[in-house]
Structure 1
Amino acid sequence: MYNQNQNQDQSLKQIKESVFSKMMRAGSKNYFFDVKKASNGSNYLTITDSYKNQKGEQVTSRTLIFRDHIQDFLANLQEAGTYLQ
């Protein structure tokens, strides 16, 4: 049986847990950067890329970066970026 109140509560919980969200378009790909609040109260970053393959199917991949790893992640990302210029 469908419980509308329960569904609304889950939707509100999802909205409440979102701290930051930004989308970046890059050609045929979309990147999503979302900071969310974990059940233990700490924030984490989710990076999602999304595109359509040759069959027209939506393909997504997701990477989660937790707060205690973000500084190392950013340092390594910046270093890797120097090789792209």
Structure 2
Amino acid sequence: MEDRRGYDRDEIFSKKVKAGKRTYFFDIKTTRSNDYYLTITESKRKINGDNFSYEKHKIFLYKEDFLKFVDALNESVDHVKNELLPDFDFEQYSNEDSENELDDELKWE
């Protein structure tokens, strides 16, 4: 019998965020007991000669930790934006996603 440990759980929701050479996936899945959890996956494309592969890192986040995680993330981002880089224009990156998606569609391989 194959041990799959829940990695093939149905995705309830998925959101993809392209960020330069990295792509982040936010996937909501179900447990065997019909509860929900979030996986956050960072995927980075690595070039190996003429081929490429993907290096992936995954975080499993359970509902009891959602608020603590979001609070810590917001506090960390706010600290960088307000204390470490108060004069930096973070809005310059807001249109980058749509431009990258268009560029990806137009590339010939």
TM range (shorter): 0.7 to 0.9
Number of corresponding residues: 71
Q: Which runs of 5+ in 1 are unaligned?
A: 1-12
TM-score, length-scaled by structure 2? 0.59
Q: Does 1:64 align with 2:64?
A: no
TM-score, length-scaled by structure 1? 0.75
Aligned to 1:78, which of 56, 74, 81? 74
**Cα distance in 2 for residues equivalent to 1:18 and 1:58:** 21
SS in structure 1 at match of 2:74: helix
Alpha-carbon RMSD across the aligned residues, in angstroms, is: 1.6
**Cα distance in 2 for residues equivalent to 1:76 and 1:23:** 21
**Cα distance in 2 for residues equivalent to 1:71 and 1:32:** 19
> 1 or 2, which has the higher strand percentage?
1
Q: Which runs of 5+ in 2 are unaligned?
A: 1-7, 82-109
Larger radius of gyration: 2
Q: Does 1:40 align with 2:36?
A: no
